[in-house]
């Protein structure tokens, strides 16, 4: 979850707008990737249990 805006990355959906295919785990997403809503860096995300 993005700590800036609350966006939830869903591995089942990926991020097609950023060419991240469905089924891509968050760990495999590039460090350069940014939140598609608020453009916060990947490091600002936290895992939800």
* Per-domain residue ranges of the chain: 1-49
**5-27: average pLDDT:** 97
Q: State whether residue 2 is helix, strand or coil.
A: strand
The model carries a pTM of 0.87
Tokens of 13: 């959906």
- CATH number for the region 1-49 comes to 2.20.28.10
Residues pairing with 41 in the sheet = 34
φ/ψ of residue 42, rounded to 5: -55, -35
Contact, 9 vs 26, CB < 8 A?
yes
Q: What is the pLDDT of residues 24-49, one digit of tens each?
A: 999 999 999 999 999 999 999 999 87
Q: What is the pLDDT of residue 34?
A: 98
CA dihedral 12, 17, 18, 24 (to 10 degrees): 10
| Residue 13: pLDDT over 80 | yes
């Amino acid at each position: 979850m993005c700590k800036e805006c609350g966006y939830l990355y869903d591995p089942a959906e990926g991020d097609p707008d950023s060419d991240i295919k469905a089924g891509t785990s968050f760990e495999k997403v590039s460090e350069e990737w940014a939140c598609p809503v608020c453009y916060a860096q990947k490091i600002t995300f936290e895992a939800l249990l």
